[in-house]
Chains A and B, each alone.
Chain A
């Protein structure tokens, strides 16, 4: 719509129409009129445009406002003097809550005033929350802008041991005051700013976008902002983009190449996806090769070299040459294969293709330089090649090699010089220079044989056409041939020519690309493009985070005055996309969290007024505790306990004690029952007033929660359960429940609960914790050190995919055993193990229980490792019973059936068994089954059918067990799971459990 109006008159006549249309009732017409108006690139109408933009930015229709945002950029490029006024409009539009506007206004912001970071503060959370709903082009722009923003506002998450810090147990218990004190200390543990986390979490679903630009934008955001441990999730999506057309492949491969230099591990599992096809364009081939080289390590080098062998033979000679370079790089990086590579390259020297031979020579030269000691044979071989090879670079390289190591090949070197002297005049400049070099070196070491030859060459060089060569000749002559004019330097000629030269480093050409933000044009071109905005380094100290929470502070104030009502309105207003059902859940979550976080900040700030603050919120809790939903949550949590009558009471105590523990420490407030029940729920509740009570806990456990949350439906009740899970790790010695102090009212409350309905699958607390211990190390074979282990059936604190194992170590000797730790581990591939901290000493007759986490990868393979003391080490192994590879889940009967319906056919194993008569009652069956395997109960409508559900620890696949009692004391045992192997083992183990007495 770039219209060039020649005269003012015609402009004004023309203007009449769009100006009239700006008031049209139809929004499409209004928007189009604005587009037309703003596209007239005549400076004289700037004031009119300004007015029109201002008006349109307040239009009721978001479509018109979107066009206003576009018009801002146009006006700015027409007349940059309007900047200040335009920034005002941008500020106004940034506050807009429409997803339609967000992308366009951020684009305008980037164009007009990218340095006005302060405009973003108040809109940061909104933008994060809207992001999923914004159209794809807007998403890209917003993500890039937020990446820059985050780098200025948050502290680096890349400090060492950051993962552990977040799980620091102390954080769970600390009160606010303590935390504050701690913050003031110099060394404080890293806790991710909740806003930082918000951004990282809200961008994650976008990895699934169909738009490659969006996926790449998220990938670069994770690369630049996320903790190193989390950045790995983007690799899968990036590899997916490689299926796209060649342009997309090219850009993505470049970015992967940069990433793979720094963090090999991210792409190692996808090594094979980078294998080259003969039909790929050359640029794709070389990028893939680059990545393969970056990923090479001791483990995969042999496969890679085999693959490289095919590439070397490729018809695409440019690519073959690149492959040889790659082999050279692998050889220098991985010392184990240097010799193999060198031999391979020497074989290539007899290749028919000249480019290949030349490239091999160059690479061999570089390799020999790194370890010249024992390769005189290769040098001799290369000397012979001079007769056949014609590529100048290769000839020059050979000559250099012979000169450099002339002492190792004393017989050949003078002969080579003789030959070269003959052909000197017809050589390339590059080769001539090296001939001169060789002559000089030989003159210095073996002047008897080569004096005349060298002088002959120097004479030839003196009259060469190239001044470069004439210069070099003069320089060398002065330096090596002693005459009266030669200065002091000639004494050192030998040192100058035959000095030890450092070996060249074979480096990736992508080495320095990481100075540019990934995914940008500058990164692709490897030069700074116009308008590139530098990504700033992380600040040492985070700037005041409270700048982002305007709305919430208002909310907080209102809270003090009017309770409940106002907030509700607020929240609906805020969650813009609540109408979209899929969205609402997530938005609610995040929103409530951010609210809570900010309240934390507020707490910290208004320390003096904290008393009244807490008072107000506790009073609110009282009023709110009546809400049914809350109760049902609590009910749900104890549902499982109720059903397992056997150890009902004990269980309950345990849970409560856990809760009390966490709660007591979280705040010194009186713990009324209502509070306790609402406490754990608060995360999910959009009115997160209770949150202010334990914001610290929320912050500390957030990451963990995230991990769990992502796997399951983020429905309200469920989150509360997760909260409970979060506290589990704290009370690790679960097997020995501490007696709880519980208020009588709570008991009454719990007793009255009935089973509630829900449609989600949750991880629940185990129904039964086996006391059975297995022997790890007998005291006889352990020279007095005895070790036993049992499975605690708790979610492991060291990782989601690990099974937690409690190991009890006992010293049966009469001396102190010192430094007990785990030595060498022999684990099957994929298996991981988190060891316990070394125990300094163990007094005689004393025992200690430590916990470990083992990721069994859902297999019953044995984890072998060494248990070491100061003097000895004993090989021990743990083989998990299949029942311990599970985590119990609860679900409604309905869901159970649907899930089961999906896991039929191959995924179903069943058996008919004869049930021992004493085993036919409900209670006994329950007890026996849960004793054998860590399964959760599923309520059943029929008396003769019992259902249990669990998920595997490593992969989270569902494991559904059904026991159906039939007539004549038989029973049908059905297991539905995707993990058919585990399923069949479990079936085998459950059979005797039910059939025997």
Chain B
């Protein structure tokens, strides 16, 4: 399936390559560079490129292109999903998936790639299994290894590989047994010029960090499970239990993982926690324009809206901006024409405002469209959909675990058209 993998950085250097079947010349990447050039933006590089003898499927993560070489028909999503899994694994192992991290750990990277694919077909992709096979790097271990000359390869078969629960390794032991669940909801919305909602929906995930000894069997129930309209599960969740009782019953993997992701049924009206008042105008035949944006809280159930950041992609004709903000700080990057306003916390008593003038290139025509505002925010201790975890029960083990649930609401793709 997957023949080779090339890692390409932003400046177009191939800094790592790996072949599973036979060596494919680096020159195959030329087709990729060609496509990259044609697309003005990295975002616009087509994920699937056809070349005379091969097909290139690529993903873009953390300023690195993962370019895989395919020779025969294969579902493209299969490859894309796998490449993302590779990037996730790097992230998991090295804390970040950057060029330097990969170069620093090049041995582990090759070991991982070798285990993850066998002859082009995925072999072990579960992080729990991989961690048993190949120990993640720590400072102590690398010191010991360099002295003793031993490697960080495991020498037993990961227990998970054979059992019905490949995601969990056996013999887990902790002194403090803890289970944390983060219910994170993101509001995707498009607000139109007049402030009315064109489209809004809530997407949520439950990320868990489970540090429990032995083989715990957990069941998590919600106060209002019917809110969840469409759910995708980690393989550990027993689907039948969910279907019949709307209870999440599972033997968890060890460590951090995403338990479920869900969408809240679109019939429920989404409460939009902030509102924006804006006047952005460019004068005809003039080199200046006005910019005035005020942001305020709305329907946030008594919680404060924090970490508000407004990003605006200004039209190409904008030269510079002279603004004053009543709260927070702003930066304008004249090269990429992006205005970023870091607002911080919104206090209803004094609404944050940013206003001033926009300088346009002389001679350029008045921009056709006002830029749209992208807003980020965070509300702690609130799941905007109203989802609530009811209880967490543990079976199969004797000890009493410490349990914690945290709710966060964030802005997802939150856009205000002006």
CB distance from B45 to the nearest CB of A (A): 9
List the one stretch of B157-165, B206-214, B348-356 in contact with chain A. Answer: B157-165
Known A70-B121, A135-B166, A352-B365: A140·B75 in contact at CB below 8 Å? yes
Our pick among B55, B78, B365 for the contact of A137 (Cβ within 8 Å) is: B78
Bound Cα distance from A273 to B55, whole angstroms? 30
Residues A213 and B75 in contact in the complex (CB < 8 Å), given A205-B239, A208-B231, A712-B244: yes
Taken residue by residue from 222 to 259, chain B's Cβ proximity to chain A (1 for < 8 Å, 0 otherwise) reads as 01111001111111001111011100010000000010
Q: Is A347 an interface residue (CB 8 A)?
A: no
Q: Are A277 and B190 also in contact (CB < 8 A) when A243-B203, A251-B80 are?
A: yes
Given A208-B239, A213-B75, A315-B315, do A279 and B374 touch, yes or no (CB 8 Å)? yes
Question: Which A residues touch B43, using CB under 8 A?
Answer: 246, 281
B76 within 8 A of A: yes
Q: Contacts of A212 on B, CB cut-off 8 Å? A: 77, 80-81
- Which residues does chain B contribute within 8 Å of A453, judged by CB atoms? none
B240 x A521 contact (CB < 8 A) = no
B263 within 8 A of A: yes
B297 beta carbon closer than 8 Å to chain A: no
Cβ–Cβ contact A210 & B232, under 8 A = yes
* Chain A positions 1-20 with a Cβ under 8 Å from a chain B Cβ: 1-2
A-B contact count (CB 8 A): 223
Is B136 among interface residues, defined by CB-CB distance under 8 A? no
Bound state CA distance, A163 and B294, in angstroms? 57
Contact among B58, B121, B365 with A104 in the assembled complex (CB-CB below 8 Å): B121
List which B270-290 residues lie within 8 A (CB) of chain A: none
Q: Which residues of B contact A710 (CB under 8 A)?
A: 243
Residues of B within 8 Å of A351, CB to CB, are 368
Which residue on A lies nearest to B226, using beta carbons? A978
Contact string against B for A residues 711-732, beta-carbon threshold 8 Å, 1 for contact and 0 otherwise: 0111100000000000000000
Mostly, the A contact residues are: helix
Residues on the A chain within 8 Å of B11, using CB: none
The answer on a CB contact under 8 Å between B81 and A211 is yes
- B244 lies within 8 A of A248 (CB): no
Cβ A524 vs Cβ B48 within 8 A? yes
Chain B residues in 8 Å Cβ range of A594: none
Instruction: List which B44-85 residues lie within 8 A (CB) of chain A.
Output: 44, 46-48, 50, 55, 58-61, 70-78, 80-82, 84
In the complex, B122 has a CB within 8 A of chain A: yes
B313 at the interface (CB under 8 A from A): yes
Q: Evaluate whether A521 and B75 lie within 8 angstroms (CB atoms) in the complex, with A278-B372, A712-B244 already known.
A: yes
CB of A26 within 8 A of CB of B157, answer yes
B224 cross-chain contacts in A, Cβ below 8 A: 902, 978
Q: Is the CB of A277 within 8 A of B80?
A: no
Question: Does B261 have its Cβ within 8 Å of any Cβ on chain A?
Answer: yes
A525 and B121 contact, Cβ closer than 8 Å, known pairs A212-B80, A275-B199: no
Q: What's the Cα separation between A524 and B57 when bound, in Å? A: 11
Binds A, one of B18-26, B90-98, B169-177, B323-331: B18-26
Assess the B82–A251 pair: CB atoms within 8 A.
no
In the complex, A304→B243 CA distance in Å? 36
Shortest distance between the CB of B194 and any CB in chain A (Å): 12
Q: Are A213 and B368 in contact, CB atoms less than 8 angstroms apart?
A: no
**Of A73, A240, A281, A714, which contacts B240 at CB under 8 A?**
A714
* A520 and B244 form a contact (CB under 8 A): no
A279 contacts B78, C-beta separation under 8 Å? no
Given the interface contacts A245-B84, A582-B240, does A2 sit within 8 Å of B223 by beta carbon? no
Within 8 A of A (CB), among B296-330: 313, 315-316
Within 8 A of B (CB), among A193-252: 205, 208-213, 215-217, 236-237, 239-240, 243, 245-248, 250-252
Q: B156 contacts the other chain (Cβ, under 8 Å)?
A: yes
Which chain A residues in 580-626 approach chain B with CB under 8 Å? 580-583, 585-586
Residue in B55, B76, B315 with the greatest tally of chain A CB atoms within 10 Å: B76
Whether B162 contacts A63 by the Cβ 8 Å rule is: yes
Which residue of chain A has the shortest Cβ distance to B158 in the bound complex?
A28
Quick one: given A61-B162, A240-B263, A577-B164, are A41 and B22 in contact (CB under 8 Å)?
A: yes
Report how far A531 CA is from B240 CA in the complex, Å.
Answer: 37
Residues of A within 8 A of B369 (CB): 313-315
CB–CB A251/B76 < 8 A: yes
B216 → chain A closest CB, angstroms:
16
The 8 Å CB contact of A902, one of B48, B156, B223, B238, is B223
Measured between C-beta atoms, what is the minimum distance from B245 to chain A in Å? 7
A70 and B198 within 8 A (CB): no
Task: Specify which of B71, B118, B201, B367 lies most central, judged by the most chain A CB atoms within 10 Å of its CB.
Answer: B118
Which chain B residues (88-139) contact chain A, with CB distance < 8 Å? 114, 118-119, 121-123, 125
Q: Does B403 contact A (CB under 8 A)?
A: no
Chain B residue numbers with a CB within 8 Å of A209 are 232-233, 235
Q: Is the CB of A579 within 8 A of B164?
A: yes
Residues of A within 8 A of B199 (CB): 272-273, 275
Kindly provide the distance from the CB of A192 to the nearest chain B CB, expressed in whole angstroms: 22
Question: CB distance B232 to A208 under 8 Å?
Answer: yes
Chain B contacts for A246, CB-based, 8 A: 43, 47, 60
Residues of chain A in range 370-411 having any CB-CB distance to chain B below 8 Å: none
A contact residues around B47 at 8 Å (CB): 246-247, 250-251
State the CA gap A27–B156 with chains docked (Å): 9
Given contacts A100-B162, A210-B258, A521-B70, contact A582 B77 (CB under 8 A): no
Residue in A210, A216, A351, A581 whose Cβ sees the most chain B Cβ within 10 Å: A210
Give the docked Cα–Cα distance between A975 and B78 (Å): 49
B41 within 8 Å of A by Cβ? yes
Q: How far is the CA of A135 from the CA of B85 in the complex (A)?
A: 14
Question: Which B residue's beta carbon lies closest to that of A41?
Answer: B22
In the complex, B417 has a CB within 8 A of chain A: yes
- Cβ contact within 8 Å between B240 and A277: no
Shortest C-beta distance, B250 to chain A (Å), equals 10
A-B contact pairs, 22 of them (CB 8 A): A1-B114, A2-B20, A2-B22, A70-B121, A107-B1, A140-B78, A208-B239, A210-B234, A213-B78, A216-B77, A240-B230, A240-B232, A243-B188, A246-B60, A248-B77, A277-B190, A277-B413, A282-B44, A283-B46, A581-B238, A760-B244, A978-B226
5 closest A-B pairs by beta carbon, nearest first, are A531-B72, A713-B244, A28-B157, A582-B238, A313-B369
| Interface set of A (CB-CB < 8 Å, partner B) | 1-2, 26-28, 31, 35, 38-39, 41, 61-63, 67, 70, 73-74, 77, 100, 104, 107, 132-133, 135-137, 140, 144, 205, 208-213, 215-217, 236-237, 239-240, 243, 245-248, 250-252, 272-273, 275, 277-279, 281-283, 307, 310, 313-315, 351-353, 519-522, 524-525, 527, 529-533, 577, 579-583, 585-586, 710, 712-715, 760, 902, 957, 978
Interface on B for A, CB 8 Å cutoff? 1, 19-23, 41, 43-44, 46-48, 50, 55, 58-61, 70-78, 80-82, 84, 114, 118-119, 121-123, 125, 155-157, 161-162, 164, 166, 188, 190, 192, 198-199, 201, 203, 221, 223-226, 229-235, 238-241, 243-245, 249, 258, 261, 263, 266, 313, 315-316, 365-369, 371-372, 374, 390, 413, 415, 417
